[in-house]
């Protein structure tokens, strides 16, 4: 690991050392209603005695400009200068939003990520992407900004309910499908039956960091990390508009991986046998996302806002065999709708 990323028992002591530096003028801790209650007590011994907590509501619904204003108002009211540090304690929603707020406040203050969900530990907190949702579209506003440090302590996973842990596992599976066929073979055997997640987190983070290092601003190979996300984001965004039908990000990505694996078969990139392996494994872990066939066109339309698009072309990341992702694969809204209809029939 490099000097900005720590995983394991030494992560929080390293954070404490960073926050003790004389160059740090103030420390702010961004939490949500859940992490403030469940995770802050574990972090507290590693924080300076004087720090300010900023708490937001929990959930994707809070990933908005209004929440950013709450953070910026608190920083401004406390006279935070450019030597302040924002500690983002939470899952992907909070680490995305906190990084975005820090990147824009006074043209940028330092922030660190302390991810508390499996999804954030293996994916959202690593790679320098920040952002918020806007007008119902996922991560519509954002900037690339690397944190001053990422501190991953697997003990936080004990605070999660099984559904949240499972949601994060979707990103672990995604990493293996795009770049490590052997890892996917192991996952098919072990699934989530792990007592210690440390080695799984390390392997998944290493894979993502290798891809990001080749393409920090997502002009090429980094798009591989979006496998499952063209359909997944569309499905997640659509269901966010349907009160009571909201799903977690990883649940949407798991459904998206099935759809996009099916599209890979239709385009001659993936074998039917490989699709069967992917489907069988994903459905052994994840419940099927519920929607009706009449909604498929409306869901697919959300893909027009996908950030990988180029003009009128919807670009998708597909699989050229298990363990080998291929990016910038053009698809139509009709093909996406067809993939959703395929998923619905399973």
Q: Is 188 a catalytic residue?
A: no
CA distance 137 to 233: 8
Distance CA 278, CA 200 (A): 19
* Of 254, 230, 208, 256, nearest in space to 309 by CA: 230
Given 63, 208, 223, 308, which residue is catalytic? 208
Alpha-carbon separation of residue 330 from 80, 204, 259, 299 (angstroms): 46, 27, 15, 18
Catalytic residue among 34, 88, 166, 171: 171
Query: Which of the residues 60, 63, 138, 218 is marked catalytic?
Result: 218
Q: How far is CA 181 from CA 60, 90, 108, 173, 255, in A?
A: 32, 30, 39, 10, 20
Is residue 233 among the annotated active site residues? yes
* Active-site annotation holds for 249: yes
Q: How far apart are CA 35 and CA 160, in angstroms?
A: 10
Q: Is 222 a catalytic residue?
A: yes
Task: Specify whether 218 is catalytic.
Answer: yes
Based on the residue annotation, tell me whether 129 is a catalytic residue of this protein. Answer: yes
Q: Which of 60, 229, 251, 260 is catalytic?
A: 229
Active-site residue identified among 222, 251, 260, 308: 222
| Catalytic residue check, 107 | yes
| Selected catalytic residue, list 107, 189, 195, 345 | 107
> Catalytic: 83?
no
Q: Which residues contact 133 (CB under 8 A, 6 or more apart)?
A: 60, 63, 64, 139, 140, 141
Catalytic residue status for 229: yes
Residues labelled catalytic = 107, 129, 171, 208, 218, 222, 226, 229, 233, 249
């Amino acid at each position: 690991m490099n000097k900005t990323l720590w995983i394991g028992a030494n992560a929080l002591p390293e954070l404490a050392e960073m926050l003790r530096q004389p160059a740090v003028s103030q420390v702010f801790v961004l939490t949500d209603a859940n992490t403030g209650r469940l995770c802050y007590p574990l972090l507290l011994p590693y924080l300076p005695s004087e720090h300010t907590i900023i708490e937001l509501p929990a959930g994707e619904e809070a990933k908005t400009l209004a929440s950013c204003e709450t953070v910026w108002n608190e920083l401004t009211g406390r006279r935070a200068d450019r030597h302040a540090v924002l500690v983002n304690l939470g899952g992907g929603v909070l680490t995305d939003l906190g990084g975005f707020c820090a990147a824009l406040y006074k043209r940028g203050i330092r922030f660190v990520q302390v991810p508390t969900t499996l999804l954030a530990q293996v994916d959202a907190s690593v790679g320098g992407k920040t952002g918020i949702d806007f007008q119902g579209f996922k991560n519509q506003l954002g900037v690339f900004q690397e944190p001053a440090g990422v501190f991953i302590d697997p003990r936080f996973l004990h605070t999660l309910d099984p559904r949240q842990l499972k949601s994060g596992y979707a990103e672990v599976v995604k990493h293996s499908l795009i770049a490590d066929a052997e890892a996917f073979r192991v996952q098919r055997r072990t699934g989530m039956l792990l007592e210690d997640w440390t080695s799984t987190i390390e392997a998944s983070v290493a894979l993502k960091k290798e891809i990001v290092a080749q393409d920090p601003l997502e002009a090429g190979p980094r798009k591989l990390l979006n496998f499952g996300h063209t359909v997944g984001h569309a499905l997640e965004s659509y269901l966010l508009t349907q009160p009571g039908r909201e799903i977690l990000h990883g649940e949407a990505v798991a459904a998206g991986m099935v759809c996009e694996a099916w599209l890979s078969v239709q385009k001659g990139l993936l074998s039917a046998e490989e699709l069967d392996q992917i489907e069988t494994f994903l459905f052994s872990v994840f419940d099927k996302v519920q929607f009706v066939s009449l909604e498929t066109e409306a869901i697919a339309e959300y893909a027009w806002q996908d950030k990988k698009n180029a003009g009128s072309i919807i670009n998708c990341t597909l699989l050229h065999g298990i363990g080998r992702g291929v990016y910038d694969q053009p698809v139509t809204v009709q093909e996406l709708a067809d993939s959703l209809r395929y998923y619905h029939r399973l």
